[in-house]
Amino acid sequence: MLADLSAQESTAGYANGDFSPVDVLDAVAERIAACEPTINALWDNATGDGPVSERTRKAAQDSAGRWQRGEALSGLDGVVVTVKENIARAGVAMPSGTKPGSRTPEERNAPIVDRLEEAGAVIVGSTVMPDWGMLSSGVSSLHGITRSPINPDLTTGGSSSGAGAAAVAGYGPIHIGSDIGGSIRLPGTWLGLATLKPSFGRVPLSVPYQGRCAGPLARRMSDVIAAMEVIGRSDARDYTQLPPYAGAYQTRFDPANVRVAVHVDAGCGMDVDPQVAEVVLGVAREFERAGAEVEEIEPFMDDELLSLIDLFWRVRSYNDLMKLSEEDRAHVLPYVAQWCEAGAHVTGPELMDAYNSIHSMRKRTVSATEPFDLVLSPVAPVAAFPAEWPMPFNDPSQSMGHISFTVPYNMSEQPASTVHAGYTDDGRTVGVQVAGPRFADPFVLSASLWLEETLDVELPARTVGV
């Protein structure tokens, strides 16, 4: 079906004249109409006539004309994509998943959106997120609950919840999310997706923040690579950006003699489900069979580091909460408001200890992973949980014990992908995290593509809108 094509399959069809970007957009519109009432993935798709806006339709028509003239702009020309709600699009508001959030349309695109539009991509909408992106689910005071297209009873993960749901549902092949502690990779493991949290500064942002990155979610690693070829380019508006990179995001990968570390114990947080651990260890054995040097490493995180980064975020979000009127504060998701309240009475020295923990986490992560080319681990310690739960442990007094494998790579600024690697006995998806040295995004992507092709795990079936 046209809505399920990869980016490469889409552009090959355009080039051959088999179908046009308008045909694909129409197929995606039909898929949105069938799935959106259940999964609730999109924020602004209802503008204009029908399930897609006139702005989107014009982009598809313009792309069709370029393909007919043999003037395609890039490998994403005419490819249908979405971007997360907190990535600015001119004319679209950014409420950040919360009911009191802004309804004022943005005046200017974020760098990512400019790169996509310059490449001719067709942006079908902005995807939803939970309040301020501080939940690992699709629960939002503004949007309600976003549900998995695989099983609507289960979470999408978050905070790139709408992006993950849109990817599985077939709202185009490429979806851009953001990640400060696992928000791209968690939907990856709980929805059976391919993802990348890039090196910090590799994908430019209009509002950079320590640890925050934007990157692609897709059903195939080839689409993640295709997206990075466009969005992984420099923009002076991001004052934290890395030096310009003009190379390819896919290189030749040979696992022979590659130094691979593996660990299934983070040293903190939630206990790892044995079935999740076994999937990761099975991936390590695949690398070993292919000639890689595989070594199991000791945990390098601890509960104090995890609690301190959680406290740092609570103070930051409490500050945001207090900027709202009393009436607006009452409309923030109660779980998030309660989580924020723990930051109310933190002293200056305590906050500095929390801030300094970020650098301790970075030092430990870099030191532990430096001898290796790749590090394999679970993305999350558990498989998908009920869609109605804000978090897998569902208790705002607890620190974020489910991000013990992901958050270290945000703070160390290293790239980390998700590869769909298997299933639990009850059919829930399990991803493996593949991390590499800072700046080694092409190497991590190429290794992840090799792994995806080697494992050849069946993609999860969509049960919504069929």
SS (H, E, C) 93-150: CCCCCCCCCCCCCECCCCHHHHHHHHCCCEEEEEECCCHHHCCCCCEECCCEECCCCC
Say yes or no to pLDDT of 338 above 90.
Answer: yes
Q: What integer is the mean pLDDT of 250-258?
A: 96
pLDDT per residue as tens digits for the range 286-299: 999 999 999 999 99
Q: Rounded to whole angstroms, what are the CA distances from 454 to 67, 174, 255, 263, 419?
A: 34, 22, 11, 20, 11
Q: How far, in whole angstroms, is CA 77 from its chain's centroid? A: 22
pLDDT per residue as tens digits for the range 341-389: 999 999 999 999 999 999 999 999 999 999 999 999 999 999 999 999 9
d(CA 6, CA 65): 21
d(CA 326, CA 332): 10
Q: In 17-121, which ranges are continuous DSSP H helix?
A: 21-39, 54-69, 111-118
Whether the predicted model's global pTM rises above the 0.95 cut: yes
What are residue 294's phi and psi, to 5 degrees? -110, 130
Q: How far, in whole angstroms, is CA 182 from its chain's centroid? A: 7
CA nearest neighbour of 162 among 202, 198, 133? 133
Report percent pLDDT > 70 for the chain.
98
Are 184 and 164 in contact, with CB atoms under 8 Å apart? Answer: no
Are 237 and 266 in contact, with CB atoms under 8 Å apart? Answer: no
Which helix (H) or strand (E) is 419 found in, with range?
strand 416-423
pLDDT per residue as tens digits for the range 116-147: 999 999 999 999 999 999 999 999 999 999 99
The confidence score (pLDDT) of residue 48 equals 41
Report, in angstroms and rounded to the nearest whole number, the Rg of the chain calculated over CA atoms: 21
